[in-house]
Amino acid sequence: MVLLKSPDGGWGWVIVLVSFFTQFFCYGSPLAVGVLYLEWLDTFGEGKGKTAWIGSLASGVGLLASPVCSACVSYFGARPVTIFSGFMVAGGLMMSSFAPNIYFLFFSYGIIVGLGCGLLYTATVTITCQYFDKRRGLALGLISTGSSVGLFIYAALQRELIELYGLDGCLLIVGALSLNILACGSLMRPLELSDSPLPEKSCLEKVADQYLIYHEKENVEENTSILEKDYNEEKCVNMSSRECKQDSILNKNGLISIHAKETDTYKQKVVEQTYFCKQLAKKKWQLYLNYWEETLFLFKNKVFSSLFIAILFFDIGGFPPSLLMEDVARSSNISEEEYVMPLISILGIMTAVGKLVLGVLADFKWINTLYLYVITLIMTGVALVAIPFAKSYILLAILSGILGFLSGNWSIFPYVTTKTVGIEKLAHAYGVLMFFAGLGNSLGPPIVGWFYDWTQTYDIAFWFSGLCVLLGGLLLLVAALPCWDNCNNQSAKPPPNIYSYTVAS
């Protein structure tokens, strides 16, 4: 059974719609956590670096677990994973409303909500890539705007809910809204399968079937011996003692020979079952080695190796503004009267615009998506370095809009990954890259917060962030230059995906 060709439309547009709302409901609160961050600072009185771990874990844990998320989506499918993850996100948000301290929030908001978001993101991206080929850039751009629209709306929504119902009531209501993910997941119909003959089972799978047959046979024989024993005991009770003794003497020699045969049969079964278990363990070990061998093969590509460094540095430096921009404005002594719109809302709406525009640009054949991604990285680094020089609301709003638009490059990142490694290795490569992205997301805001705790200013922190993003962008640019094309073309064949063993008779 193999997947049909991507329809590039039809039910695929329903998939795009429900994926949009899935990312809207799951990422709305974690991306707009900057509003909650200010409340947690005032409520628990912890340092900014320590408090920033809540939002960074919510965005980083799901990405760190991307290899596991990819495996779950590949094994169970996008629909079951989406429904299960919907319960995780809603439950984590509701549990956070009862948090007695910041450490409880690390688990409830950071780990549970973050892992649920990671599963949902992988599921929506994977099923969208299956349904679209020629229009993949547009489809990915549309679904990724869901998280940006969620950031724009949830930033104002959570602020209003905190004023009306307090922090606890806000988290309860936001958690209840996340239950709408269940309805979205139910519409994620898997891509239909073509009618082709089932592949013949491998030798090891046949061994597993034989093991089950022997196991069932052994159970049947055991039950039969128990029934015969009960029958003989009942018969002996009804007979006289003399007849019973005679019967036992007559059967004694026969029982000895039968016992010897049963002993030989039991030993043979033990040997066979031990052999079968060893073969199954060997199969699992080979699959594990195969995964790491394919991972090493991916890193032989210079562009892929540079891509994972670039995404790591980008998330270390580019993610903190979405979490800390409101606190940057408060630290710059900008009054509430100057606020026309929350900075996080500006960042969110421009991220949606950026994802859509960059996703459309990626579909043009004359545009190199890798160079487009590099340009966004370099411009992001420049904007981050300029943040310490912005001392007014207007300048911070302009920089927030620029950073938001450039962070829309998330919509073309799966596109870049697909062009680099191919669609057949997308799930594997994307899981590895998202692991490093999650590492950057987890470390970025705490590092910036610690810089502030040490220096009592955000200047050095954002200079460090900007240099990290610039370094990643320049490294990727060098690796993507045409002079490396001959080096990137691998002459060796990739490692095989299937291992089979000849089982001795």
Q: What is the 3-state secondary structure (H, E, C) of 358-423?
A: HHHHHCCCCCCHHHHHHHHHHHHHHHHHHHHHCCCHHHHHHHHHHHHHHHHHHHCHHHHHHHHHCH
Mean pLDDT, range 226-246, rounded to an integer: 47
22-26, 396-400, 443-447, 470-474, range with the lowest pLDDT: 443-447
Q: What would the pLDDT profile of 21-30 be if each residue is shown by its tens digit?
A: 999 999 888 8
- At residue 175 the predicted structure's pLDDT band, cuts being 50, 70 and 90, is very high
Mean pLDDT, range 450-463, rounded to an integer: 82
For the cut 90, the answer to whether the pLDDT of residue 77 exceeds it is: no
Query: Helix, strand, or coil here: 495?
Result: coil
pTM higher than 0.85, yes or no?
no
* Among candidate residues 302, 328, 474, the one with its CA nearest the CA of residue 388: 328
Rounded Cα distance between 404 and 153, Å, is: 15
User: Is 188:82 a contact under the CB 8 Å cutoff?
Assistant: yes
The one-letter code for the residue type at 11 is W
Domains 1-191 and 301-482 in one fold: yes
The dihedral through the CA atoms of 322, 72, 435, 52 has a sign that is positive
User: Is 399:383 a contact under the CB 8 Å cutoff?
Assistant: yes
Which contiguous run of DSSP H or E holds residue 273?
helix 241-299
169-173, 229-233, 439-443, range with the lowest pLDDT: 229-233
The dihedral through the CA atoms of 99, 105, 107, 109 has a sign that is positive
Q: What would the pLDDT profile of 476-504 be if each residue is shown by its tens digit?
A: 888 877 655 554 444 444 444 433 333 33
Q: Cα 98 from chain centroid? A: 27
Rounded Cα distance between 333 and 346, Å, is: 19
pLDDT computed for residue 260 by the predictor: 59
Distances (CA, A) of 192 to 127, 132, 414: 12, 14, 23
pLDDT computed for residue 267 by the predictor: 64
Where on the phi/psi map is residue 326: left (φ > 0), alpha (ψ -120 to 50), or beta?
Answer: alpha
pLDDT computed for residue 113 by the predictor: 92
Mean pLDDT, range 69-93, rounded to an integer: 88
pLDDT computed for residue 407 by the predictor: 85
Mean pLDDT, range 454-472, rounded to an integer: 86
Radius of gyration (Cα) for the chain, nearest Å?
A: 30
Where on the phi/psi map is residue 352: left (φ > 0), alpha (ψ -120 to 50), or beta?
Answer: alpha
The one-letter code for the residue type at 131 is Y
The dihedral through the CA atoms of 59, 63, 64, 65 has a sign that is positive
The residue with greater pLDDT, 81 or 434, is: 81
Q: Kindly state the tokens that stand for 376.
A: 């966004």
- At residue 112 the predicted structure's pLDDT band, cuts being 50, 70 and 90, is very high
Which one-letter DSSP state was computed for residue 193? B
- At residue 20 the predicted structure's pLDDT band, cuts being 50, 70 and 90, is very high
The residue with greater pLDDT, 323 or 231, is: 323
Looking at domain 301-482, what is its CATH homologous superfamily? MFS general substrate transporter like domains (1.20.1250.20)
Tell me the DSSP string of 85-113.
Answer: HHHHHHHHHHHHTT-SSHHHHIIIIIIII
Q: Which listed CATH number (3.30.1360.20, 3.30.390.30, 3.90.25.10, 1.20.1250.20) goes with 1-191?
A: 1.20.1250.20
39-48, 67-76, 253-262, 273-282, range with the lowest pLDDT: 253-262
Instruction: Look over the chain and give the mean of its residue pLDDT values, rounded to a whole number.
Output: 76
pLDDT computed for residue 499 by the predictor: 36
What percent of the chain is modeled with pLDDT above 90?
A: 14
Tell me the DSSP string of 105-159.
Answer: HIIIIIIIIHHHHHHHHHHHHHHHHHH-STTHHHHHHHHHHHHHHHHHHHHHHHH
Rounded Cα distance between 347 and 349, Å, is: 6
Tally of residues, the chain: 505
- At residue 284 the predicted structure's pLDDT band, cuts being 50, 70 and 90, is low
* Among candidate residues 124, 64, 108, 116, the one with its CA nearest the CA of residue 88: 116
- Domain locations along the chain: 1-191, 301-482
Calculate helix-pair angle for 302-318, 426-455, nearest 10 degrees: 40
Question: Residue 302, Cβ neighbours under 10 Å: how many?
Answer: 16
Q: What would the pLDDT profile of 317-348 be if each residue is shown by its tens digit?
A: 887 777 778 778 777 777 766 777 778 888 88
For the cut 70, the answer to whether the pLDDT of residue 2 exceeds it is: no
User: Is 464:317 a contact under the CB 8 Å cutoff?
Assistant: yes
pLDDT computed for residue 18 by the predictor: 92
Which one-letter DSSP state was computed for residue 47? -
Rounded Cα distance between 462 and 460, Å, is: 6
pLDDT computed for residue 503 by the predictor: 33
What percent of the chain is modeled with pLDDT above 70?
A: 74
pLDDT computed for residue 203 by the predictor: 42
pLDDT computed for residue 226 by the predictor: 45
Query: Helix, strand, or coil here: 475?
Result: helix
* Among candidate residues 11, 76, 140, 81, the one with its CA nearest the CA of residue 416: 140
